[in-house]
Amino acid sequence: MSDKPSFFSELKRRNVYKVAIAYAVVAWLLMQIATQIFPFFEIPNWAVRLVVLLLILGFPVALILAWAFELTPEGIKRADEVAPNESITPRTGRKLIAFTAVVAVIAAGLLAFRFFHPAPAPITAVSTPPAPVAVPAPPTIPEKSIAVLPFENLSDEKANAYFAEGIQDEILTKLASIADLKVISRTSTARYKSKPEDLKTVSQQLGVATVLEGTVQRAADKVRINVQLIDARADTHLWAKSYDRDAKDVFAVESEVSQEIADALQAKLSSGEADALTTAPTRDAAAYDLFLKGEYEEREAESSLKAEPFDRAAAFYNKALDRDPNFALAAARLASSKILRHWFVVRLGKSELAEIKRLADHALALAPNLPDAHIALGNFYYYGQRQYDDALKEFRRALELRPNNVQAQEQIAFIYRRQGRWELALSEMAKCEERDPRNASFVANFGTTYLNLRMWSEAKRAGSRALALDPHNVVGMRAVFLSDLNSGVSLSEAKRTFAGFPPGSTLSNPSMVGNVAAIIGDSTYLYVVERNFAAALQAWSNESSDSGLERSRLAARAAIHVLGGDEASAPDEVAKSRSLVEARVREQPDDIRALTELSWIALAQKRNADALALAQQAAEALPVEKDAQGGPAILAGLAEIQARAGEPGEAVKTLRRLLSIPAGVCISIQRLKIDPVWDPIRNDPGFQQLLAGTEQIGP
């Protein structure tokens, strides 16, 4: 029998077992320390993974070393060179056992602490708690909720489409006066077919339990109206009814349908709401027919923001009033149409604005409880006078009279924005979205609000959502484009964004005033940022027979010449633009757009003092304190003129103020870096200091 010890006895003698146990305990303890302590000192996670990997790789190395070497009084020697009486491994083994026991106690204590004190969730870079992992429950749909879908026109004459839309709109308006119902706005329901195939999807998208479908057939003076109320969640019919009436009795049909819906949904009606269901806007059927034609054109006008449909709508409203001078609804809608045309197409003079005020007052005198009359007066105060407190009072009254009146609710939100009450504005806008979830223009205005607050990613999401609803929505395009331009993405990416918009998109309208981008238009502004001034001039090359459009065209070209540094190349063109714009200022001295245009024309003619005076006059006409939405753009225009007219210190001072307030539509640090308008002060120390700073984010 051999005296050579067995392999396993050698493992025991050389403490390999004890080393393995001790290594495992110590390694586990080190792993716990790494995972707990490293994050506290913000050591990256890869360092923790490296420690774990090294400890795993070190395990076989430790076992090999324990087998291959032994401790002797003279130090470490190879195991095969040491006699048994020279080894001190027995004493080392006892010490190793003691050390392992101590480490095991520490590890057990750490394990117990972690068990009874679970680690908190890791701190993230956001100010709100992370969202729960669980899938959120779908929003609850109120039982008493309805969407009135577009009525199908079955008439042989397709020109009667206005009549079918008018019937639908009047029924919806009557239902909107019932506070106990949730009624979806027409702008959202208009995006659906008369009879959608998937009503359950419609129910979820609009947040309603029921929908009303209908058809209208008109022949001469006879009308047939079919309606059916459907539980959209289950796609089951609740009731259906047909009405065969004379055209002059259509008011009664609208009232009957509204009453039956209210009854079917078990809505509680106040006496005032009951009266609203039965009240006819006029007793003259012909006047009402003209009014419906006006409404049809007005919807087109408010969608396109073009002069022609506004003018056609006004003509029909006036004809309706000629037949029935006491037609309060027609007077109110005419007043609103005229003031919207003033704001979005061509600004009116004081006498014309006064006529709109008389028209709104007349409508209110005829029908003090008519919501549309209060909206007309509110629109006059808002768009005609910028008297926001007076406008707010009128819109709130309209909302009291018609609780589902999304138009009034939206205007309240927009007034809060003008007043710089940003959080209230966002809160009111969220309320509007409940009743108008598919309104692209309104969703896009969320984007504009976020742009002002320099919340670029939120602005782009809102703009993109608006474009998903309506690819031609100008406000949505602008939100996406400016969020790209302001957030620091490459200029080529901003160009790709713009190239994806429908051809001919200008991204501008006359309501945008103040800085040079408003004068030349955002689409042309992209050429300027690229310093492609020839392309920018080409964009404004087509002459117009309309004096207002020609005035704007020549003013834009004068500004582009200044930015390109070649203003001396077109003295006759600049002189002509000066003549046209000065005539406008003489006609309307408080026209801010004309004042800012004239300031750039003055720069083109090297009249720097005049340019500064005009820009200052514009800024004083609408200070930020009076209009937190529009004022910053005009103040930015002043900074541009200061930079170009030899006042770098004042320009930097103005810019510093703009960067400290919600003004992201017109000013951001990224825009300062790339916009050639700032080239004259680009090397100024104060301007460079601005570029190194940070922007205010959020309200």
Please name which of 644, 342, 617, 418 lies closest in space to residue 516, comparing C-alpha atoms.
644
What pTM does this model have? 0.73
Same domain, 298 and 425: yes
Q: Kindly state the tokens that stand for 694.
A: 């940070």
pLDDT score at 155 = 83
Same domain, 295 and 422: yes
pLDDT score at 646 = 94
For 615-670, the three-class secondary structure string (H helix, E strand, C coil) is: HHHHHHHCCCCCCCCCHHHHHHHHHHHHHHCCCHHHHHHHHHHHHCCCCCCCCCHH
CATH number of the domain residue 599 falls in: 1.25.40
Q: Which of 412, 438, 464 is the last residue of a domain?
A: 438
Same domain, 537 and 683: yes
Kindly state whether residue 203 falls inside one of the protein's structural domains.
Answer: yes
pLDDT score at 118 = 43
Same domain, 423 and 291: yes
Same domain, 258 and 161: yes
Please name which of 321, 320, 332 lies closest in space to residue 362, comparing C-alpha atoms.
332
Kindly state whether residue 464 falls inside one of the protein's structural domains.
Answer: no
Residues in the chain: 699
Kindly state whether residue 488 falls inside one of the protein's structural domains.
Answer: no
Contact 463, 476 (CB under 8 A): yes
CATH number of the domain residue 427 falls in: 1.25.40.10
Strands, E assignment, 16-84: 69-72, 75-78
Amino acid at 277: L
State which residues of the chain have pLDDT below 70: 1-20, 22, 25-26, 28-29, 31-52, 55, 61-63, 65-139, 490, 494, 498, 501-511, 694-699
Kindly state whether residue 312 falls inside one of the protein's structural domains.
Answer: yes
Task: State the total domains in the chain.
Answer: 4
CA distance 334 to 355: 11
Q: Kindly state the tokens that stand for 639.
A: 């900074």
Kindly state whether residue 491 falls inside one of the protein's structural domains.
Answer: no
Kindly state whether residue 499 falls inside one of the protein's structural domains.
Answer: no
Same domain, 600 and 640: yes
667 contact partners, CB below 8 Å, separation of at least 6: 632, 636, 639, 655, 658, 659
Same domain, 513 and 614: yes
Q: Which of 231, 246, 280 is the last residue of a domain?
A: 280
Kindly state whether residue 123 falls inside one of the protein's structural domains.
Answer: no
Same domain, 149 and 273: yes
Please give the residue range of the domain that contains residue 654. 508-691
pLDDT score at 442 = 86
Please name which of 456, 404, 336 lies closest in space to residue 148, comparing C-alpha atoms.
404
Same domain, 88 and 225: no
Kindly state whether residue 458 falls inside one of the protein's structural domains.
Answer: no
Q: Kindly state the tokens that stand for 437.
A: 């979830």
- Enter the DSSP assignment of 121: P
Same domain, 71 and 203: no
Q: Which of 280, 303, 326 is the last residue of a domain?
A: 280
Please name which of 643, 644, 638 lies closest in space to residue 562, comparing C-alpha atoms.
644
Same domain, 547 and 677: yes
CATH number of the domain residue 210 falls in: 3.40.50.10610
Helix 388-401, helix 371-379: angle, nearest 10: 160
Same domain, 336 and 259: no
